[in-house]
Chains A and B, each alone.
Chain A
Amino acid sequence: MYAYDELDRTLINERVSEFRDQVKRRLSGELTEDEFKILRLQNGVYLQLHAYMFRVAIPYGTLSSKQMRRFAHVARRYDRGYGHFTTRQNIQFNWIKLAELPDALAELADVGIHAMQTSGNNMRNVTSDQWAGVAPGEVEDPRIWSEILRQHTTLHPEFSFLPRKFKIAITASEHDRAAIKIHDIGLRLHKNADGETGFEVLVGGGLGRTPFIAKTIKAFVHGRDILSYVEAILRVYNQYGRRDNIYKARIKILVHELGIEKFAKEVDEEWKLMGDVGLTLDHSAIEEVRSRFSYPAYEKLPHMPDELKQAAADPLFERWRKNSVAPHKVQGYSIVTLSLKPVGGPPGDATADQMDAVADLADKYSFGEIRVGHEQNLALPHVAKRDLPQLWRALDRLGLATPNVNLVTDIIACPGLDYCSLANARSIPIAQELTRRFANHDTADMIGRLHINISGCINACGHHHVGHIGILGVEKNGEEFYQITIGGRADENAQMGVLIGPAVPYAEVADVIEDIVEAYLALRDRPEELFVDTVKRLGVEPFKERVYATR
């Protein structure tokens, strides 16, 4: 965990005071709604269909138990007793009152939590692998660099009014869990031939109405130069990104219109001209940030404790363990994913009671630490294997042990028309219906890894383009219709899914998904061939035939 010092605390408190002044000026009429809109968006406050929505940052997905308890408190005191974890390591509260927002923000600031730049046309919350620092085989802990970037991007005096939002993600693993290829800047930590730490820098990824996979702009930027290189990209974008049309304002469009070579040349020229402007990170500067991260005092534990051997006799425990428990870099420990996708529930929601209980379990079993991933699930990153059976029983009682991680019911969905003023169609009820259709965990297990992503409109907050199965809500003659894509993925082999055919009405979506899954089961050449690999091998045709033959 990164521990805030006095300076970090001062800054977020100063931000609370500023926001309090802004809300006061709005309530008194000194600020028009148009003026206030930009200011509230800089601090994560949207006006949704029914109320203000408040988005709070969980930088690089790391939370302490104390912070999680504070979320529970805010959910109870200022909202309706629950919160929603998003695809970008944020939590959203859907029913906040404007007049109470500054107080909610102040209570969060007490525990080092802020909402700076969780919306608006600025540099958004820096995200990373939810298993950072604990996954085996990492180059190094990407949170050090995430924190360096978090600080650098916070209240940046030059880049707080960009053409459009700007998202940075960092990974340090071969398997990309941070979806860096669908970010404005993706950073892949690796070492060069001399063993020095640096980054492959990717640029111009993003979804929305014009989706692009990010392209490599530089194969290796030394760690000490990463801030100046990112600054050069931002400066080119700030000056030349389009501002005449918000749908063409993301950096992906600039990169696409100029071409990656020309864009890279512009950035390189700016980078050279920049010279030494105090952005070079020498060893001691990096170590200063690193020193503020604390790591658990792990015990020396056996790889296979007796408790685990005994529990293996229970098939329900074993099913959960095989599904939700992942290897840890330290022997005797595991990373445990807590599914926020119960059968029939809205994906990513947690009640205040669940949050409190997770905080208690984190204290008891995970050195007080919790992680949040872009799949809208939580994780306990340091669980001793001997504690797994006890933890499982506790999670099961809380409804947080659904053994569906990475399976067909582990659905990523945006809030959709139930909450969002931009949406064309509902997302949550589609997800809920699908979890009921595939409620049999043995069936889901037999189907294997399959990511379904649902967006209620073209803005693609549910990342439908990169779902193995993507579902996009559209409006046709006042009715909700859904376009289905297959074959997308968000990992190191990221690619966009392909449309299988005409959109289908709301009532038929679940049937269509069942047809696609049945087609896959009939078509896969062996049980280990994942859905997305079968689509890659055969293309969309056989799936299309199956779906539309009878419609």
Chain B
Amino acid sequence: MPLVKQGRITTDLFVHVADGAELPGDGAILISAARFLEDPEAVLKRAGKTGVIWPNSRAVDDLVPHLDRLAAVALVFPTFRDGRAYSQARLLRERHGYDGELRATGQILRDQFVFMSRAGFDAFEVKKDADAEAFAETMKRYSVFYQPTGDGRITALNRRMQLRHSESAGQ
């Protein structure tokens, strides 16, 4: 499953470690929320980076105290019609100021890229190669956005107000 990061297909530096398996001494790991919460300190004092896969059925509140020590948070889309992780992503980015890697995992098609990016995701485990390859092109699908989110894209309303302001300033 290709990983898209910073707009292109890239090698995944994080190793998925299953719940029963032993943690490697160093290197970046991605582990389940349950495993992480058993003993966060033990995990975080390792030499390598830590990423946590957070389920979409659990409020992110329990993760918030650890955010500044995490290198990645992976949120889950069990099917692409299950949109809970969009809310989790916005809360992590916009309310809790998380600025590490925010990864989308699960059933990810190109048709969610723009929504996900707007919600704060910057890494995507994409289901199909063709979709991963089409990432950059797909992100150009839209140039107009009606809603403000934490992604910094200017809204249609703000563009209109700016235009109006510059028009009246020019008179």
A contact residues vs B (CB 8 Å cutoff): 5, 7-8, 10-11, 14, 17-18, 22, 30, 35, 38-39, 121, 151-152, 154-162, 235, 238-239, 243, 273-274, 277-279, 284-285, 288-289
Contacts and interface: CB of A to CB of B under 8 A. Distances in A.
A155 to B, nearest CB: 7
A17 B141 contact: yes
Interface range for B: 35 or more
A96 B161 CA distance: 40
Given A10-B144, A38-B80, A22 B159 contact: no
Nearest to B160: A288
B159 A7 contact: yes
11 contacts: A7-B144, A7-B160, A8-B156, A10-B143, A14-B142, A14-B144, A30-B128, A155-B115, A158-B87, A158-B115, A161-B80
Interface string B77-116: 0001111101110100011000000000000010100111
B144 A238 contact: no
B27 interface: no
Given A11-B156, A39-B111, A288-B161, A154 B146 contact: yes
B114 A161 contact: no
B75 to A, nearest CB: 12
Contacts of A277: 94, 148
Given A277-B148, A284-B161, A288-B164, A157 B118 contact: yes
A186 to B, nearest CB: 22
B33 to A, nearest CB: 16
A274 B149 CA distance: 12
B130 interface: yes
A521 to B, nearest CB: 51
A285 B148 CA distance: 13
B156 to A, nearest CB: 5
A161 B77 CA distance: 11
A480 to B, nearest CB: 32
Contacts of A30: 128, 130
Interface string B142-163: 1111111100000111011100
Nearest to A227: B147
Q: Is the interface of B mostly helix, strand, loop or mixed?
A: helix
A156 B83 CA distance: 12
B119 interface: yes
A151 B87 contact: no
Nearest to B114: A157
B147 A156 contact: yes
A160 B83 contact: yes
Contacts of A274: 95
Interface in B131-149: 141-149
Contacts of B161: 284-285, 288
B1 interface: no
Given A157-B119, A288-B157, A14 B147 contact: no
B83 A18 contact: no
A151 B156 contact: yes
A10 B157 CA distance: 14
- A22, A38, A278: most-surrounded residue (chain B CB, <10 A): A278
A158 B157 contact: no
B59 interface: yes
Given A38-B80, A160-B83, 6 more contacts: A14-B141, A18-B142, A151-B146, A151-B157, A160-B86, A162-B83
- B94, B144, B156: most-surrounded residue (chain A CB, <10 A): B144
Given A7-B159, A18-B141, A284-B161, A238 B147 contact: no
Contact of B82 (A11, A154, A156, A243): A243
A238 B164 CA distance: 36
A9 B156 CA distance: 11
Given A7-B144, A277-B148, A157 B156 contact: no
A187 B144 CA distance: 27
A351 to B, nearest CB: 35
B166 to A, nearest CB: 14
A30 B109 CA distance: 11
A11 B146 CA distance: 9
Contact of B149 (A14, A158, A243, A289): A158
A233 to B, nearest CB: 12
A159 B160 contact: no
Interface in B9-43: none
A30 B131 CA distance: 10
A238 B157 contact: no
A288 B143 CA distance: 20
A231 to B, nearest CB: 9
A157 B143 CA distance: 14
Contacts of B141: 14, 17-18
